[in-house]
């Protein structure tokens, strides 16, 4: 470090930006609001301790890949380091979004049907963009999609954050050494939990789509148009809190719980989804196709985004 082609010399960002309140504590460090001393512009600063140098390097490398800018991926400003020895701190500076993460936003707000479609389509577009490859950009599996890693912009579109666990796949290159069981247990697909994942690019992308389905479910369960007079339930994470042991997780996979949830709400069983007449039933069916137990049966993120777009033409219910 400094990495070739890095836009700022070492110390440039950290000497201009003052850290303010803490926004979040993550696996690899804390995120703060940072303020540029000259312009008062606010940014978000993820601060890694020296032992997390590997994650800091991975994340900035991914953000710095050519063609990585997209409206639904968190905008990277730069990386920096300050302090020395055990006091060394590694900074990753990105755009700041005052509405915070999808997790925080949904816990505090309900959303209309149109707002839900804006959230769902933009999130799926961001993931589809990560997954897609071009001559310049490798396909990227995020590997930790969850509502805390999705940020809400002021126009209620989403951007995907936290690329610290992401894995890139260059065409024709072997997958290499990769630990399959990373991410957040609550959002892990059955094949990851069971250690039964195959080591192909598409397998990694399908694991992301499973987690995408769970985040879409979190969004849908806060939609006023989905609940009518009964009222929208309080925000919940997508699984029962059964995480005491890995055994209990295997016995109570999210999918089973969620499917019971649809049924208990008097909605159609999966097999009865053939007649799609309303936006809500099409969105539920789409979500179920994301968390299918069989990875090959899941939709792609690009297909989920196209479905969300098509949903705008259907009546809500």
Active site residues: 144
Instruction: Give the list of residues 6+ apart from residue 194 with CB closer than 8 angstroms, or none.
Output: 250
For residues 56 and 204, which CB has a smaller minimum distance to ligand ADE in the complex? 56
Q: Please tell me whether residue 18 adopts helix, strand or coil conformation.
A: strand
Position 100 contacts ligand ADE (CB under 6 A): yes
Position 96 contacts ligand ADE (CB under 6 A): yes
For residues 44 and 288, which CB has a smaller minimum distance to ligand ADE in the complex? 44
Residue pair 148/101 in contact (Cβ under 8 Å)? The answer is yes
Instruction: Give the list of residues 6+ apart from residue 54 with CB closer than 8 angstroms, or none.
Output: none
Window 219-248: residues binding ligand ADE (CB under 6 A):
none
Residue pair 168/64 in contact (Cβ under 8 Å)? The answer is no
Q: Which residues pair with 169 in a beta bridge?
A: 139
Binding residue (CB under 6 A) for ligand ADE from 13, 102, 120, 161: 161
Residue nearest ligand ADE, CB atom distance = 44
Position 189 contacts ligand ADE (CB under 6 A): no
Instruction: Give the list of residues 6+ apart from residue 89 with CB closer than 8 angstroms, or none.
Output: 47, 48, 49, 50, 81, 82, 83
Position 151 contacts ligand ADE (CB under 6 A): yes
Binding residue (CB under 6 A) for ligand ADE from 31, 92, 220, 308: 31
For residues 101 and 124, which CB has a smaller minimum distance to ligand ADE in the complex? 101
Q: Interface residues with ligand ADE (CB under 6 A)?
A: 23-24, 31, 44, 74, 94-97, 100-101, 151, 161
């Amino acid at each position: 470090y400094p990495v070739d082609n890095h836009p700022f010399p070492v110390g440039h960002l950290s000497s201009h930006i003052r850290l303010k309140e803490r926004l979040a504590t993550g696996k690899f460090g804390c995120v703060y609001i940072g303020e540029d001393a000259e312009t008062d512009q606010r940014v978000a600063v993820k601060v890694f301790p020296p032992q997390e140098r590997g994650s800091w390097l991975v994340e900035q490398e991914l953000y710095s890949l050519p063609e990585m800018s997209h409206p639904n991926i968190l905008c990277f400003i730069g990386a920096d380091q300050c302090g020395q020895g055990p006091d060394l701190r590694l900074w990753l500076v990105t755009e700041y979004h005052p509405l915070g993460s999808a997790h925080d936003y949904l816990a505090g707000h309900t959303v209309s049907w149109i707002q839900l479609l804006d959230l769902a389509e933009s999130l799926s577009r961001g993931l589809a963009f990560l997954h897609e490859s071009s001559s310049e950009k490798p396909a990227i599996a995020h590997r930790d999609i969850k509502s805390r890693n999705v940020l809400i912009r002021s126009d209620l579109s989403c951007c995907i954050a936290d690329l610290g666990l992401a894995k890139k796949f260059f065409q024709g290159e072997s997958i290499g050494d990769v630990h399959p069981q990373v991410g957040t247990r609550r959002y892990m697909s059955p094949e990851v939990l069971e250690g039964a994942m195959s080591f192909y690019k598409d397998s990694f992308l399908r694991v992301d789509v499973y987690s995408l389905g769970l985040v879409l479910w979190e969004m849908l369960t806060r939609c006023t148009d989905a609940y009518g007079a009964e009222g929208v339930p309080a925000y919940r994470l997508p699984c029962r809190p059964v995480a005491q042991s890995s055994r209990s997780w295997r016995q109570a996979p999210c999918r089973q719980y969620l499917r019971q949830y649809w049924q208990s709400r008097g909605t159609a069983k999966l097999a009865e989804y053939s007649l799609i007449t309303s936006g809500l039933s099409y969105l539920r069916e789409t979500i179920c196709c994301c968390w299918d137990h069989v990875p090959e049966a899941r939709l792609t993120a690009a297909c989920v985004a196209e479905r969300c777009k098509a949903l705008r033409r259907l009546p809500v219910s």
